[in-house]
């Protein structure tokens, strides 16, 4: 009975893994600003992030090598995330950002490979494409934070606290990738401006190319 329930759960996850991942990411992005002032909910949100890391690993692993690489990148990220409650060091913050950028970047590559290898456009294919888009923005938010840690003053933003800064870079990344450009957070250095420009270009090219590819594949499939 237990084995049957486990097998059923695995099957459900396999069929809806990107929908589950999309819901988790959106919930984390939306809830974090409202719950960030409470230490108990802050712990809950970090637990939420840990679940997202594990879910990404399970979603993208199709080969043993992918599981090993994703786990290798995720474990230091998870450990450094939770070490914040015991000690706050600049080196730990930098390590968290570096492994975060590597982990999300590696995840984007694997998810896009899954999307491209799909034989038909399904709901899961669309969810996977959306997840990849969100993870690109999160990857860039880590790159911005790495740059700010290595070269302080690369950006101008209102709140300098650790947690608020993290959320503000995520906000800046999503505003940049969608080319909204509110202008409340400003890249000052040439390196920061180059990163922002590259993200805006990638965001637009991603939408144009991927939407065209999905529509073309769907039309081709229907015609056959």
Tens-of-pLDDT digits for all 224 residues of the chain?
Answer: 545 554 455 555 667 888 889 998 988 888 777 766 665 556 777 788 888 888 899 888 777 888 888 888 888 888 877 776 676 666 677 888 898 899 999 999 999 988 888 878 888 888 999 999 999 999 999 999 999 888 888 888 776 544 446 778 888 999 999 988 787 888 888 999 999 999 999 999 998 888 888 877 767 676 66
Measure Cα distances from 116 to 18, 151, 209, 224 in Å: 15, 37, 12, 18
Question: Quick one: pLDDT at residue 162?
Answer: 44
* CB burial of residue 51 (10 Å; 0-12, 13-18, 19+): middle
Question: Quick one: pLDDT at residue 134?
Answer: 94
pTM (2 decimals)? 0.86
Question: Quick one: pLDDT at residue 5?
Answer: 52
Dist. CA 22–CA 20, nearest whole Å: 5
3-class DSSP assignment, residue 151: coil
Question: Quick one: pLDDT at residue 147?
Answer: 92
Question: Quick one: pLDDT at residue 76?
Answer: 84
- The pairing of beta strand 186-187 with beta strand 155-156: antiparallel
3-class DSSP assignment, residue 185: coil
* CB burial of residue 1 (10 Å; 0-12, 13-18, 19+): exposed
Dist. CA 218–CA 17, nearest whole Å: 21
Instruction: Name which of 152, 205, 143 is nearest 170 in CA terms.
Output: 143
Question: Quick one: pLDDT at residue 41?
Answer: 58
Question: pLDDT by residue (tens digit) across 92-109?
Answer: 778 888 988 999 999 999
H helices of 63-89, where? 64-83
Using only the alpha carbons of the chain, give its radius of gyration: 19
């Amino acid at each position: 009975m237990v084995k049957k329930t486990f097998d059923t759960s695995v099957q459900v996850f396999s069929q809806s893994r990107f929908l589950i991942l999309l819901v988790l990411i959106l919930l984390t992005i939306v809830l974090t600003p409202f719950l960030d002032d409470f230490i108990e909910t802050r712990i809950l949100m970090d637990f939420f992030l840990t679940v997202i890391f594990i879910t990404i690993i399970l979603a993208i692993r199709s080969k043993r090598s992918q599981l090993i690489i994703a786990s290798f990148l995720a474990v230091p990220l998870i450990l450094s995330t939770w070490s914040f409650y015991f000690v706050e060091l600049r080196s730990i913050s930098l390590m968290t950002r570096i492994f975060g950028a590597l982990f999300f970047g590696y995840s984007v590559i694997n998810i896009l490979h899954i999307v491209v290898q799909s034989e038909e456009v399904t709901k899961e294919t669309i969810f996977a494409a959306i997840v990849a888009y969100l993870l690109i923005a999160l990857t860039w938010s880590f790159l911005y934070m790495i740059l700010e840690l290595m070269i302080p003053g690369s950006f101008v933003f209102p709140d300098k606290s650790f947690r608020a800064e993290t959320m503000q870079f995520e906000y800046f990344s999503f505003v940049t990738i969608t080319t909204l450009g509110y202008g409340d957070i400003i890249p000052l250095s040439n390196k920061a401006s180059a990163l922002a420009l590259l993200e805006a270009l990638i965001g637009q090219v991603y939408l144009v190319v991927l939407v065209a590819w999905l529509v073309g594949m769907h039309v081709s499939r229907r015609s056959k």
